């Protein structure tokens, strides 16, 4: 018979209560163990420590903390940012979307002290709405569509690299542009992809609200999914208008990011070869 565990009808069952009850039952069935100071000192923030009748410390995480942890796992998963080949977000009908956006733009113009009805601004809300829809059309695209089956069997096992691809995106923090170059290299594993499709894959993710770090990673992961190569390397260098036109106002600053997968991640020599080529030191154009 298990002693020291009691319940009453007045206690409302919750996931936390059930967890505490289970922990208490288990603790009564096993020998008393010494306290692990290292574990206790490094328990997750927000967890609670309670003592069972047998004197064993039991760590219990609240429902709120469990829900927060689930949310963080979901937020950090690839699905949350549309990195899968088939990821796609449908838009509302064009007329309905344009009406919402133009009305919002008129409100913004009024808020900054402008007159939306003056001659130079009468068509601005519509132009702005159409431009923003174009610059974010990546939400309605996926890699499977833009590559259009242009993956071919080919016995080539050396690096394929397309460099100096123009890239333009919108910073998700201020919705102002960042622009620069992206370089994409991969080592085939029995399959190659049409060269223009590398640029199209980059555009799918660039034409969304982005941060450069995530954009670089998403392009690399999409190429891995599309071509299944031995390795992929993506590097990007951009100037961000959010730190040129506002804030610190540093015109000459540029941001460099890269993402390595497969053999590029494990072999520093491959990464060096990639960087030498994009710097125009390892190969000269004919």
Give dist(CA 270, CA 157) in Å, integer.
13
Structure tokens at 283: 């190969």
Q: Return the C-alpha torsion angle 135, 139, 142, 148, nearest 10.
A: -40
pLDDT of residue 238: 98
Q: Give me the tens of pLDDT residue by residue for the chain, a chain 286 residues long.
A: 444 444 444 445 555 555 554 555 445 444 444 444 444 444 444 445 444 454 544 444 455 566 555 555 544 444 445 555 556 666 767 889 999 999 999 999 999 999 999 999 999 999 999 999 999 999 999 999 999 999 999 999 999 999 999 999 999 999 999 999 999 999 999 999 999 999 999 999 999 999 999 999 999 999 999 999 999 999 999 999 999 999 999 999 999 999 999 999 999 999 999 999 999 755 554 4
Structure tokens at 62: 């609240």
Other residues' Cβ atoms within 10 Å of the Cβ of residue 67? 11
| 141 phi, psi to nearest 5 deg | -120, 160
Q: Is 62 exposed, middle or buried (0-12, 13-18, 19+ CB in 10 A)?
A: middle
pLDDT of residue 91: 72
Give dist(CA 239, CA 253) in Å, integer.
7
Give dist(CA 211, CA 240) in Å, integer.
10
pLDDT of residue 83: 55
What is the distance of C-alpha 21 from the center of its chain? 39
Distances from the Cα of 146 to the Cαs of 23, 90, 135, 194, in angstroms?
A: 53, 16, 16, 11
Q: What single-letter DSSP state applies at residue 123?
A: T
pLDDT of residue 286: 44
Other residues' Cβ atoms within 10 Å of the Cβ of residue 90? 6
| 68 phi, psi to nearest 5 deg | -65, -40
pLDDT of residue 203: 98
Q: What's the topology of domain 150-278?
A: GTP Cyclohydrolase I, domain 2 (3.30.1130)
What is the distance of C-alpha 127 from the center of its chain? 29
For the whole model, what pTM was predicted? 0.70
Quote the longest CA-to-CA distance of the chain. 87
Distances from the Cα of 199 to the Cαs of 77, 131, 159, 222, 255, in angstroms?
A: 24, 21, 17, 12, 20
Q: Is 18 exposed, middle or buried (0-12, 13-18, 19+ CB in 10 A)?
A: exposed
Return the CATH number of 82-135, one of 3.40.640.10, 2.40.50.100, 1.10.150.120, 1.10.286.10.
1.10.286.10
pLDDT of residue 5: 43
Give dist(CA 237, CA 182) in Å, integer.
7
Give dist(CA 227, CA 231) in Å, integer.
10
| 33 phi, psi to nearest 5 deg | -110, 155
Q: Give residue limits of the domains in the chain.
A: 1-76, 82-135, 150-278
């Amino acid at each position: 018979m298990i002693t020291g565990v009691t319940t009453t009808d007045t206690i409302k069952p919750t996931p936390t209560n059930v967890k505490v009850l289970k922990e208490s039952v288990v603790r009564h069935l096993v020998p008393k163990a010494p306290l692990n100071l290292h574990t206790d000192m490094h328990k997750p923030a927000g967890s609670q420590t309670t003592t069972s009748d047998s004197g064993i410390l039991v760590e219990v995480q609240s429902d709120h903390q469990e829900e927060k942890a689930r949310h963080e796992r979901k937020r950090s998963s690839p699905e949350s940012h549309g990195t899968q080949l088939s990821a796609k977000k449908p838009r509302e009908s064009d007329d309905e979307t344009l009406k919402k956006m133009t009305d919002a733009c008129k409100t913004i113009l009024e808020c900054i002290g402008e007159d939306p009805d003056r001659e130079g601004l009468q068509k601005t809300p519509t132009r702005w709405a159409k431009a923003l829809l174009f610059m974010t059309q990546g939400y309605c695209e996926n890699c499977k569509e833009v590559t259009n089956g242009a993956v071919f069997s080919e016995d080539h096992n050396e690096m394929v690299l397309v460099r100096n691809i123009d890239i333009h995106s919108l910073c998700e923090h201020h919705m102002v542009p960042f622009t620069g170059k992206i370089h994409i290299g991969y080592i085939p594993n029995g399959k190659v992809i049409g060269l223009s499709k590398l640029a199209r894959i980059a555009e799918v993710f660039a034409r969304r609200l982005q941060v450069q770090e995530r954009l670089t990673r998403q392009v690399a992961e999409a190429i891995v999914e599309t071509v299944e190569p031995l390795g992929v390397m993506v590097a990007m260098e951009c100037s961000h208008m959010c730190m040129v036109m506002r804030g610190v106002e540093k015109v000459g600053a540029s941001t460099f990011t890269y993402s390595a997968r497969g053999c590029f991640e494990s072999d520093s020599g491959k990464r060096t070869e990639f960087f030498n080529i994009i710097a125009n030191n390892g190969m000269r154009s004919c």
